[in-house]
Amino acid sequence: MENYKQLLEKIALAARLGVAELERKIEAKRARLSGLVSKEGAAQIVAAELGINLDRERLKLSELVEGMKRANVKGKILQISPVRSYSRNGRDGKVVNLLIADESSNAKTVLWDTNHIRLVEEGKLNIGDTIEVGNASVRNGELHLSSFGDIKLSKELLGEVVSAKVFASHKIAEAKAGQGLKTRAVIVQVFEPRYFEVCPECGKKANDSECSVHGKISAKKRALLNVVIDDGSESIRSVFFGEHILKLGFSEDEIFSLDLFNAKKDSILGEEMLFSGNVRQNSLYNTMEFSIDEVQQENADELIKELEAKQ
Same domain assignment for residues 149 and 42: no
Same domain assignment for residues 245 and 154: no
> What is the C-alpha to C-alpha distance for residues 162 and 101, in angstroms, rounded to an integer?
6
Cβ proximity of 292 and 275 under 8 Å? yes
Same domain assignment for residues 145 and 219: no
pLDDT in tens, 212-271: 778 888 888 999 999 999 999 999 999 999 889 999 999 999 999 999 999 999 999 999
Residue 181, CA atoms < 13 Å, CB-side half-sphere: 27
Nearest residue to 66 via CA among 164, 136, 166, 160: 136
pTM recorded for the entire structure: 0.60
Give how many domains the chain has, as a whole number: 3
Same domain assignment for residues 128 and 40: no
pLDDT in tens, 96-110: 999 999 998 899 999
CATH of the domain at 130: 2.40.50.140
pLDDT given for residue 180 in this prediction: 79
Q: Cβ-count burial of 310 within 10 angstroms (0-12 exposed, 13-18 middle, 19+ buried)?
A: exposed
> Residue 230 is part of which domain span?
172-310
Same domain assignment for residues 133 and 225: no
Same domain assignment for residues 222 and 273: yes
Choose the final residue of a domain: 136, 164, 192: 164
Same domain assignment for residues 216 and 151: no
DSSP-derived letter for residue 173 is G
> What stretches in the chain show pLDDT beneath 70?
1-3, 54-56, 298-311
pLDDT given for residue 49 in this prediction: 85
Choose the final residue of a domain: 33, 54, 75: 54
Q: Look at the alpha carbons of 165, 168, 173, 179 in this order and tell me if their dihedral is positive or negative.
A: negative
Choose the final residue of a domain: 105, 134, 164: 164
Same domain assignment for residues 109 and 187: no
Same domain assignment for residues 179 and 299: yes
Q: Report DSSP letters for 51-120, one per residue.
A: T--TTTSEE-GGG--TT-SSEEEEEEEEEEPPPEEEEETTEEEEEEEEEEE-SS-EEEEEE-SHHHHHHH
Same domain assignment for residues 299 and 228: yes
pLDDT given for residue 304 in this prediction: 54
Same domain assignment for residues 287 and 209: yes
Same domain assignment for residues 16 and 33: yes
